[in-house]
Amino acid sequence: MVYNILNGDSLAYSFPDTKIAGDIIVVREGLIDGNLSGDNLHDFWHSRATYMGIPEAEYHNNVVKEFEKIMDAPDDSEFNLWFEYDLFCQVNMWFVISIINSLSIKKKVYAVYTSHLDKTSKQFWNGFGPANSSELTICFADRTPLNNTDLQLGQDLWTAYKRDNFEELIRLAKNQSSAFPYLQEVVKAHVDRFPKDGTKGRPEKVIEDIIQNGSTDFGKVFREFWNKESIYGFGDTQLKHLYDKVMHYR
């Protein structure tokens, strides 16, 4: 069985045009933000649903059922992980890898990145959203196989992230792996969110600077933040929370 695991519904809408074989699984989570508590998946799902403020039945139907497709995969399955390089996507991918790595089946796993984008451009950290079917096909052709060491690294990254173990994340980020090409930059961006000296995190400082030197309009702040810190991959929800926080303490 072949599975294409897509990070978000945006890509899911355009993906069928590629004619790439396999079932589609959509990750509808943003694990970069919110409560991650729970010693098992049942408790973890409960924490996430509560944090999002939606009924558990709704969360299960929209989110958990997609992850269960991974957990129910048969022997000799192939998983193609369509995630981007930014922190938002990488954290989601670490979680997905932790699920795949726990499966006692024969499996092949590949990371499919936005290899069609120019590494020197501001759009490099952008997602698959604007890509056309031919560009997505190129990305698939350039996919990177994950070996057992890569899978274990992904699982360890998720465990350290979930436990807020910054020291362990920094240690793990020193591993060289083609499956995680910008791991040190991404981990640094995450650690910079929570300075030990109690000062504002890197995203809040950037937002504050944008507001002080330009407009307080959220739409403009959002666009400018993306120009400066697209490595975070924040969506409206994540950035609005930080924006409100900065505005409250002005």
DSSP 139-188: HHHT-EEE-HHHHHHHHHHHHHHHTT-HHHHHHHTTS--TTSTTHHHHHH
Q: What confidence score (pLDDT) does residue 185 get?
A: 96
Checking 34-41 for CB contacts under 8 A at 24+ apart, the result is 36/161, 36/162
Read off the tokens for 20: 């790439």
Per-residue model confidence (pLDDT) at position 121: 60
What gap in Å lies between CA 63 and CA 172, rounded to an integer? 28
> Other CB atoms closer than 10 Å to residue 232's CB: what's the count?
25
Q: What is the mean pLDDT of each run of 10 residues along the chain (250 residues)?
A: 95 92 96 95 97 96 98 98 96 98 97 81 71 92 97 98 97 95 96 91 95 90 92 90 85
Cα torsion 190, 160, 185, 119: sign: negative
Going by C-alpha positions, the residue among 27, 9, 168, 14 that lies closest to residue 97 is 27
Rounded to 5°, angle at Cα 31 from 2 and 130:
60
Model pLDDT, residue 197: 86
| Local structure of residue 61 (DSSP, 8 states) | I
Residue type, 112: V
CA distance 68 to 64: 6
pLDDT at position 122 = 58
The pLDDT value given to residue 129: 75
Q: What is the pLDDT of residue 139?
A: 94
For residue 196, the model assigns a pLDDT of 87
pLDDT of residue 128: 85
Tell the burial category of 170 from Cβ atoms under 10 Å away from its Cβ (0-12, 13-18, 19+): middle
Q: What is the pLDDT of residue 59?
A: 98
